[in-house]
């Protein structure tokens, strides 16, 4: 039965009447499955970034955004280090992008400058020219590369989604890194209208991932609860211990407790058997579902732009630098 359900034609039944790639059809038919895998990827990315910026989400997202723009412009390369100086971005522009006041944005960027990761100049902010060879940054970028390959492994090998029409060109490490950076930022962007506080978003994402971890990678349950209207029953959700959140995520216990308290007041989270569990109303909230579907659609677009030659099929093991990245312990 599981094998039958895994067939691409069963995962993508109600195909749209347009020229969209086959793997983008019927988003609502598998959005929960894809979103669980994407959430796992984004949690890996947050933990990978923590050694650079600690629990400063704004500084971390600013660094990721600057790295993404530099890689998009071809100004940086994992293999060759700095190639050319990127285009300066003003503090006000970054503040508008992240919906943060000028002074709040400036303090976050000053932190990155004090760490010799960026330069604050009169004409704006630029990455340091040798950032691609900075040991801690290089380690982070290698991790992000393998985190991206792990997500693609999950999507195309485990979930058996049809391969997208990747951008023409040879597979490059830089293309995979850029996709990983963009997907890291995607969660905060897509959910900002619902949870503007990034720390709260991190907490609810971790609780959701921990609750459904036994479903996410189960060979049958993963597909039983794949569609937008397939809400996992309470008895399948594994409670997440508060101490595990604090030990795993770059967040202090006091801050985490405040966010959990707010989430409980909003009816998104409750305590069950001494652990934290998402309320079923949260899973079924129409705005949440619409945001998930939108995020999955944007994920498809980002991954489809990776220059990857799949003429011989997709073999994740041939793309890893150090190997598959395990899920964040929750």
Span 68-104, pLDDT tens digits: 988 887 766 676 655 556 678 899 999 988 889 999 9
Task: Reply yes or no on whether the pLDDT at 22 is more than 60.
Answer: no
Do residues 227 and 31 make contact, with C-beta atoms less than 8 angstroms apart?
Answer: yes
**Residue 276's Cα: distance from chain center in Å?**
22
Return the pLDDT at 79: 67
* pLDDT band at residue 123 using 50, 70 and 90 as cut-offs: confident
Q: What is the distance between the alpha carbons of residues 239 and 207, in angstroms, rounded to a whole number?
A: 8
- CA-to-CA distance for 249 and 82, rounded, in angstroms? 31
What's the length of the chain? 330
Residue scoring higher pLDDT (191 or 320): 320
Q: Please, which pLDDT band fits residue 169 given cuts at 50, 70 and 90?
A: low
- Residue 182: pLDDT above 70? yes
Higher pLDDT: 250 or 13? It is 250
- Both tokens of 297, joined, read 């659609």
pLDDT at 18: 37
Sign of CA dihedral 181, 310, 38, 26: positive
3-state secondary structure of 283: helix
pLDDT (average), residues 38-59: 93
d(CA 50, CA 37): 21
Q: Please, which residues have CB within 8 angstroms of residue 20's CB and are 6 or more apart in sequence?
A: none
Q: Across residues 233-240, what is the average pLDDT?
A: 93
Distance CA 36, CA 68 (A): 23
Please give the average per-residue pLDDT across 292-304, as a whole number.
Answer: 89
pLDDT at 294: 85
Cα(172)–Cα(238) distance, integer angstroms: 38
Using alpha carbons, select from 287, 48, 320 the residue that is nearest to residue 157.
320
Q: 99-113, 267-281, 309-323 — which is least confidently predicted?
A: 309-323
The separation between the first and the last C-alpha atoms of the chain, rounded to the nearest angstrom, is 30
The pLDDT score that the predictor gives to residue 39 is 94
pLDDT of residue 19: 39
pLDDT of res. 37? 96
Average pLDDT score over the chain: 84
Q: How many CA atoms lie within 13 A of 163 on its CB side?
A: 16
pLDDT at 59: 93
Q: Where are the alpha helices (DSSP H) in the chain?
A: 2-6, 8-11, 27-53, 57-72, 91-98, 102-114, 135-153, 173-191, 198-216, 221-224, 242-248, 253-265, 280-284, 286-304
For the segment 49-69, the average pLDDT, to the nearest whole number, is: 92
Q: Tell whether the model's pLDDT for residue 8 goes beyond 60.
A: no
User: Smallest Cα–Cα separation from 177: which of 86, 48, 68?
Assistant: 68
Handedness of CA 248, 251, 254, 255 (dihedral sign): negative
Confidence at residue 141, expressed as pLDDT on a 0 to 100 scale: 93
Quick one: which H or E segment has residue 205?
helix 198-216
- Quick one: 307 exposed, middle or buried, by C-beta within 10 A (0-12, 13-18, 19+)? middle
Full DSSP string of 74-126: T-EETTTEE-SPPPPB-HHHHHHHHT--HHHHHHHHHHHHHTTSEEEETTEEE
Local confidence band at 213 (pLDDT 50, 70, 90 cut-offs): very high
- Residue 120 β-bridge partners: 125
- DSSP class per residue in 155-173: IIIIS-PPPP-PBSS---H
Q: What is the pLDDT of residue 86?
A: 65
Burial 119-148 (b: 16+ CB within 10 A, else e): beeeebbbbbbebbebeebeebbbbbbbbb
Distances (CA, A) of 196 to 60, 61, 241: 16, 14, 24
Q: What is the mean pLDDT of residues 236-243?
A: 94
Q: Please tell me what DSSP assigns to residue 154.
A: I
């Amino acid at each position: 039965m599981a094998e039958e359900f895994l067939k691409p034609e069963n995962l993508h039944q109600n195909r749209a009447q347009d020229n969209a790639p086959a793997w983008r059809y019927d988003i609502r038919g598998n959005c929960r499955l894809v979103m669980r895998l994407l959430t796992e990827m984004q949690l890996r990315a947050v933990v990978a970034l923590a050694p650079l910026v600690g629990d400063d989400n704004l500084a971390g997202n600013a660094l990721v955004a600057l790295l993404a723009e530099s890689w998009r412009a071809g100004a940086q390369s994992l293999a060759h280090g700095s190639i050319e100086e990127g285009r300066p971005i003003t503090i006000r522009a970054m503040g508008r992008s992240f919906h943060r006041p000028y002074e709040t944005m400036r303090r976050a960027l000053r932190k990155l400058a004090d760490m010799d990761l960026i330069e604050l100049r009169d004409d704006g902010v630029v990455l340091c020219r040798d950032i691609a060879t900075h040991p801690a940054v290089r380690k982070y970028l290698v991790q992000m590369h393998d985190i991206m390959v792990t997500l693609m492994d999950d999507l195309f090998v485990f979930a058996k989604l049809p391969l997208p029409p990747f951008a023409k060109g040879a597979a490059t490490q830089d293309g995979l890194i850029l996709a990983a950076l963009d997907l890291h930022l995607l969660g905060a962007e897509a959910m900002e209208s619902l949870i503007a506080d990034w720390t709260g978003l991190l907490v609810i994402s971790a609780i959701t991932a921990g609750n459904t971890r036994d479903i996410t990678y189960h060979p049958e349950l993963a597909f039983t609860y794949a569609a937008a209207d397939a809400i996992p029953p309470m008895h399948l959700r594994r409670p997440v211990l508060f101490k595990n959140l604090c030990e795993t995520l770059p967040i202090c216990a006091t801050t985490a407790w405040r966010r959990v308290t707010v989430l409980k007041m909003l009816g998104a989270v409750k305590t069950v058997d001494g652990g934290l569990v998402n309320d079923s109303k949260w899973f079924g909230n129409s705005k949440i579902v619409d945001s998930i579907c939108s995020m999955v659609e944007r994920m498809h677009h980002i991954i489809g732009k990776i220059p990857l030659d799949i003429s011989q099929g997709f073999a994740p093991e041939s793309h890893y630098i150090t190997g598959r990245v395990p899920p964040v312990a929750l």
